[in-house]
Amino acid sequence: MKEERPVFVVGHKNPDTDSVCAAIAYARLKTIVTGRAFEPRRAGHLNEETSYVLDRFGVDKPQMLTDVRTQVKDLEIRNLSGASGETSLKDAWEIMRNAGVVTVCVTKDDQLQGIITTNDIVTSYMDVYDSDILSDAKTSYRNIVKTLDGKMIVGDENGNVEKGKVVVAAASPEVMENIIDSGDVVILGNRYETQLCALEMDADCIIVCDGAEVAQTIQKQAVAHNCRIITTPHDTFTASRLVNSSMPIEHFMKSEGLVSFHMDDYIEDIQEVMAQERHRYFPVLDEDDKYIGMISRRNFLGARKKQLILVDHNEKNQAVHGIESAELLEIIDHHRLGTISTSSPVFFRNQPLGSTSTIVYLMYKENQVDIDPQTAGLLMAAILSDTLMYRSPTCTQIDRNAGAELSKIAGVDAEAFAMEMFHAGSNLGSKTVPEIIHQDFKKFTVDNKTIGIGQINSMSAEELGEIKQKVIPELDKTLKADGIDMIFFLLTNILKESSDVVFAGNGAETIIENGFSVETRNKGAYLQGVVSRKKQFLPTIVDTLEG
Q: Kindly write down the DSSP assignment for every residue of 425-464, as one continuous string.
A: HT--TT--HHHHHTTTEEEEEETTEEEEEEEEEES-HHHH
The pLDDT of residue 351 = 96
The conformation of residue 534, written as its DSSP 8-state character, comes to I
The pLDDT of residue 185 = 96
DSSP 320-347: PBTGGGSEEEEEEE-S---S---SS--E
Q: Which domains does the chain have, with CATH numbers?
A: 7-70+306-425 (3.90.1640.10), 73-124+251-302 (3.10.580.10), 138-246 (3.40.1390.20), 433-546 (3.10.310.20)
Query: Rounded to an integer, what distance in angstroms lies between the CA atom of residue 530 and that of residue 358?
Result: 22
Query: Rounded to an integer, what distance in angstroms lies between the CA atom of residue 376 and that of residue 21?
Result: 10
pLDDT in tens, the chain (547 residues): 356 789 999 999 989 999 999 999 999 999 999 999 999 999 999 999 999 999 999 999 999 999 999 999 988 898 899 999 999 999 999 999 999 999 999 999 999 999 999 988 888 777 666 678 899 999 999 999 999 999 999 999 999 999 889 999 988 888 888 899 999 999 999 999 999 999 999 999 999 999 999 999 999 999 999 999 999 999 999 999 899 899 999 999 999 989 999 999 998 888 888 888 777 889 999 999 999 999 988 888 778 889 999 999 998 889 999 999 899 999 999 988 888 888 889 999 999 999 999 999 999 999 999 999 999 999 999 999 999 999 999 999 999 999 999 999 999 999 999 999 998 887 777 788 999 999 889 999 888 899 999 999 888 888 899 999 999 999 999 999 999 999 999 999 988 999 999 999 999 999 999 999 999 998 999 999 999 998 899 999 999 998 7
Evaluate whether 336 touches 543 at the Cβ level (below 8 Å). Answer: no
pTM: 0.71
